[in-house]
Structures are given as structure tokens and as C-alpha cells.
Chain A
Amino acid sequence: MTRAFRRHLYSRFMTVVVILFSFTAVLALVLILGDLVAKGASSIDWAFFTKSPVPAGQTGGGVANAIVGTAIIVGLAALIGVPIGVGAGMYLAEYGSGRLGFMVRFIADVLNGTPSIVIGIVGWTFLVKPMSKFSALAGSVSLAILMIPMLARTTEEMVRLVPHSLREAALALGYPRWRTSLKIVARTALGGIVTGCLVGIARIAGETAPLLFTALGNLNFSLSVGQPMQTLSLQIYVYATGPFDEWHRMAWASALVLMGLVLVISIAARWVTRQRYGSVR
């Protein structure tokens, strides 16, 4: 066996190892999605989407309260978080070359890794403790805080993809910088910015930890943002850690719905930028 042959054999061997390891990593995804469908699909019917939970021990009921709650809390969070996050991202892309830009960029990256449970207890301090009342609004604010640094970075990245020549052309035509920024640059990058927002929404839609002490959860149907409200993620947590088989069944079904929601938003996010940038980096 020559040395060269051994080296090539080793190269082949390592390639196989890399493929096997990668396969293992992707296998986890396949297993989780498979289990969600296998254990959750059978419990999903019309009542699941239209009814509120029934008292423990009884069968039937649904998670309409949690589905509506998720939509309200996440929607409100997006309403608060998107302007600030996108605005900060525009700043980073347009004026972010200085020291403040560097600092904001760095802090955004660091905040991106901040444990969401910590944001939850800080949200509790500001919005629950003073009013001595848990509320959906407190949950939304916590989720918005989670969303802002992520949006800032993706917006910046997308805006930076806009060719400089476009900007120069607008400025050369006598456009002021702010109009260039909003009407030319931001509009060109709009698809990318929307993608960033959708990815952010998909992420906060599945968050549980920041809601534990803010939105709290609510077994009844509620539309009031000043009151505790249920989300799918909170419902899954309660059902999965509870003692009843019926609850476990509902947990799987709720998880399937939540996962479906997150997947649809994630795929929509990629679809928005599909034509413009060709492929998702």
C-alpha cells in the first residue's frame, strides 16, 4: 500500500465520517418532525381550532384561545419591535461606519444571545410588578425586546446588499439623503427586510420563556391585551408537563400546529426574497 494510496483512502474515510455526522444532525430534524406528525395529526380536527380547552380530565376541547393569543401577542410584539429593529438596522447600514455603529452592532450581536428567560423577568419587573397584573401586553413587549437586535442585524445586512450605484444615482439627481435612504435604498431592500421580519416573527412565535411571567397563560378565551393570555407555546408547556394522557395528546397536536405555523412563516420569508437574491445565503 503506497503512501499516496493511504492518504487518499484516509481522505475518503474522513469524507464518509463527515457525511455520516451530517446525516445524524439532519436525522434529528426528520425524527422530530416525523414524531410531531405521527403523534399530533390524529388529534387535530375542527374542534381543535374552534374550541377552548375543557377542564382537566375531560376529553375534547381545543386550543382556539392559544391560537388567537399567539396571533395577538406576536402581532403586537411585531408592531412594537419591527419599527425599532428596522430603524436601528437602517442606521447601521446608512450611518453605521463610526464608533456608535460599531458599538450598536456589537451590542445587537451580544443581545441576540441573551437568554430569553432573563428578558422575561425584566419584562415582569416593568410591566407586571407595578400593575400587579399579568398581561398579554407585557408578553408582547418582552418578545419585541427579543426581536429588535435580530431585526437590526438582518435589516442592516439586507440594506447593504443594495448596490452603491443606486444610491449615487439618486443623490446625483438631487435627492436628499433621507429620501434616497427611504425611497431608493429601503425600497430596493424591502424584500430582504420583510424576510428578516418574518424570520424574527417565526422565532418569537415559538418563544415560551419570556411569556411565563408576563402573558402567564390563560385557559379561557381572551382578547384583552391587559389580561393574561394563552399562547400555543405556553399551552404546550402546561400540557406536556401535566399528568394527563389527554393533555399529552393535546400537547403534540398543539406542537404540530405551532411547528406548522413557524414553518409556514419561515418558508414565506424565503419565498419573499427568492427572486430578488436568487438563493438564500
Chain B
Amino acid sequence: MTSLPNLPIEGIPSGRPSTETRWQSLLGADKSDRIYQRILTGFALALPAMILILFLVLLINALPAIKAFGAKFLVTSTWDPVAEVYGAAPMIFGTLASSLLALIIAVPLALSVAVLLTEFAPRSLRQPIAFLVELLAAIPSVVYGLWGVFVLIPFLRSYVVPPLKAVFGWLPIFQGVFYGNSLLAGGVILAIMIVPYIAAVSREVLLAVPGSQREAALAMGATRWEAVRSAVLPYGRAGLIGAVILGLGRALGETMAVTMVIGNRHDIGVSLFQPAYTMAAAIANEFSEATTSMYLSALFEVGLILFVLTVIVNAVARILIWRVARGTAVGSRAL
């Protein structure tokens, strides 16, 4: 082994390090290396600790309510702080209904953006459009809420609800008076908010589809749409479903914008025009007013349900996305 020349490189002691220390550092057996690894491990362990603490704090604070109401908490509709009787069914219903409505509106739009950005748009336009969509994700929730209250709701009242009533008025979901603050407004604002998330993740999933898939389809005479439909989308299916579920997770936990437009009425209604309530909105509205410990505990249980629900939804979404784009932080830019 020839000796290294004595180059004065910054940070490296001049002169040849002994063979032994070099060996040790290559094996990671150096003491300072082990300290470094321990420090980084400590930082990394903060994340499992965080999720555990979140869960335990919610669980411990929710215990009195869980003990008092049991499973009835999930299925009954009485929410009476005076009588100390709590049932969260309307919030759970409102959360699921508004998120579902948001998905129905957002999924076609978001998938279109993803397909456009990966398949159809000229290369020079892809970055600018992707940037615009990412900006949409950067708008703060409370700004969406403000816009929802003063722009979206008047717009829905004037231009969307009357035609809906005229054509589909016989459907139970489009009956009754439009209150402005409503399930419909909540769903639409949520849809606008989750489009960029679903679009960003779907785009990365589609980017992970090998070019050979497209080429094979095109070579067999498929049109461009047929190539997308029969080769690209099926290949990325798991990831795309994951992207949609990720959007669902966002919608379930979204707080400010929904609180501002959904009407915050503790009631289960079939019509989209009626006010509704979500779990996140209930916490935002009532937490600071919760004077009794049971009231507070009930709100913590709502938080626990919301937390567990979003953890499950996100876990499923991640597993699906990882199947297509393994191990990469897909969509982390937008999230």
C-alpha cells in the first residue's frame, strides 16, 4: 500500500492516519461515529415518541367519557353539556359526509391534473402547472375559510343551488332551504383544498410508472388516451388509490376552513343544504368553552376518534403508495 501524500486538506490531520483508525472508521466502529449515530437515533426516536404521546394523552383524557358512555358515544346524537350527556354521531357523520363529498368532487379534478402533468401537457408547461398546483397547497386553511364565507357561499347560493334544485330537487340530498353554511359548502371547500394533495401524490405515482408501459401500449397501436387508460393508470392503481385515501385523511382532519363554512349544527341531516358538524370543528368551537371535566373528556374522545381514524387512513394510504413508489417521500413537497 502506497502512502498518502501529505496534502493539507482542511479538517483532515496532515500525515497518514494510522491504518487501524481508518479501518475502524470504515467499519463504523469509531467511538465518535457511534456517538454521532446515537445522537441521530435520538432525534429519530422523537417521532415514535410523538405518536405514542399523542395517542396516550388523548386516551387518558378521554377515559372518563369512554367509561361513562361506552360505545353509545359513537352512535347517539345527544350532545348536552348541561345534562352531561354526550353522543358524537352527528360529528362523525358530518366528518365522513363532508369528506366523501369532497372526494367525489376532487378526485376527477386531481387525477386530471396528474394525468395532464405526466402524460399530455407539453414538457415546457409541466413545471409551471405543477408549481401552481403546489401553491394551491400552500394557501393556509383559514384563508380558504375566509374565501369560503365571503365568496364561495354567496356563489353557491346564487349560481349552484338553484339549478341543482331545479334539476335534482326530487333527490333527498338536494331538498330543503339552503342555509349558506352547509354540508355542501364544507364539502366544496374541502374539495378545493385536497385537490393539490391528491394531484401532487398522483403525479409522483404516475412519474414512477416506467416509460416502457406507455411505449408498449402505443407501439401496439393504442391512442394516447388508451395508453393512459390501459397501461399507465392500471400500473399505478395502488398508488393512485393511496393518493386518494391520503386526500381523504386530509379532509377528515381539516379544521379551520370547514369550521367556518359548515354551519356547526349538531344534527344529522340528509340534505347537503343543511348545516352540519365535524369532529375537528367541534373541538375548535367547544374546547375553550368546555367548563366541566366530562365535557372536556368528551371532546378529547372526539379528538381520539379523529386521531385514530386519520392514523389508520394515512397508514393504509402510505402502504398503497409505497407499493408503487417504494420508500420515497412521495408528495412530501406538497404535504
Interface residues of A (CB under 8 A from B): 7-8, 10-11, 14-15, 17-22, 24-26, 28-29, 31-32, 35-36, 39, 83-84, 86-88, 90-92, 94-96, 100-101, 103-122, 124-126, 145, 148-150, 152-154, 156-157, 171, 173-179, 181-183, 199, 202-203, 205-209, 212-213, 233, 236-237, 240-241, 248, 251-252, 255, 258-259, 262-263, 266, 270, 279-281
Contact of A262 among B130, B140, B327 (CB under 8 A): B140
Main secondary structure, interface of A, reads helix
Q: Which residues of B contact A177 (CB under 8 A)?
A: 25, 28, 30, 33, 36-37
Query: Mostly helix, strand, loop or mixed at chain B's interface?
Result: helix
| Interface of B toward A, CB cutoff 8 Å | 4, 9, 11-12, 17, 21-22, 25-26, 28, 30, 32-33, 35-37, 39-48, 50-51, 53-54, 57-58, 61, 108-110, 112-113, 115-117, 120, 127, 129-136, 138-147, 149-151, 192, 195-196, 199, 204, 223-226, 228-229, 246, 249-250, 252-256, 260, 280, 283-284, 287-288, 299-300, 303, 306-307, 310-311, 313-315, 317-318, 327-329, 332-333, 335
Nearest opposing residue in chain A for B332, CB measure: A153
Task: Decide: B109 and A25 in contact? CB cutoff 8 A.
Answer: yes
Decide if A24 touches B109 in the complex (CB within 8 Å): yes
- In the bound complex, residues from chain B placing their C-beta under 8 Å from that of A212 are 284, 287-288
Contact indicator B140/A208 (Cβ below 8 Å): yes
Contact partner of B333 (CB less than 8 A), chosen from A156, A173, A281, is A281
Q: Establish whether residues B25 and A105, one from each chain, have CB atoms under 8 Å apart when the complex forms.
A: no
Whether B151 lies near A110 (C-beta < 8 A) is no
Decide if A25 touches B41 in the complex (CB within 8 Å).
no
How distant is B250 from chain A, measured CB to nearest CB, in Å?
7
**Who on chain A is nearest to B319 by CB?**
A106
Contacts of B43 in A (CB 8 A): 83-84, 86-88, 90-91
- A-B contacts, 8 of them at CB < 8 A, read A18-B112, A36-B143, A113-B246, A115-B310, A117-B283, A118-B253, A213-B287, A258-B143
- State A258–B39 Cα separation when bound (angstroms): 36
B142 is contacted by which of A18, A94, A181, A236 (Cβ under 8 Å)? A236
Taking a contact as CB atoms under 8 Å apart, the answer to whether A114 and B48 are in contact is: no
- Complex formed: what's the CA distance from A50 to B98 in Å? 40
B212 → chain A closest CB, angstroms:
20
Assess the B141–A206 pair: CB atoms within 8 A: yes
State which of B144, B149, B253, B335 has its C-beta within 8 Å of the C-beta of A117: B253
Residues of B within 8 A of A36 (CB): 143, 147
A214 CB, min distance to chain B CBs, angstroms:
11
8 pairs of A and B residues whose beta carbons are closest in the complex: A206-B140, A115-B253, A87-B43, A178-B36, A21-B112, A11-B223, A11-B225, A113-B314
CA distance A87 to B44 in the complex (A): 7
Report which of B58, B144, B225 forms a contact with A15, defined as CB distance below 8 A: B225
Residues of A close to B144: CB separation below 8 A: 32
Contact A179 B11, CB 8 Å, known A148-B46, A208-B141:
yes
With known contacts A87-B44, A111-B50, A11–B224 Cβ distance under 8 A? yes
Complexed CA–CA distance, A19 and B30 (Å): 57
Measured CB to CB, the nearest residue on chain A to B147 is A32
Q: How far is the CB of A104 from chain B (nearest CB, A)?
A: 5
Q: Is the CB of B133 within 8 A of A25?
A: yes
| Complex alpha-carbon distance, A134 and B44, angstroms | 29
Is the beta-carbon distance between A199 and B21 smaller than 8 angstroms? Answer: no
Please state if B61 and A125 are interface contacts (CB–CB under 8 Å): yes
Q: How far is the CB of A169 from chain B (nearest CB, A)?
A: 11
Given contacts A87-B44, A106-B315, contact A115 B306 (CB under 8 A): yes
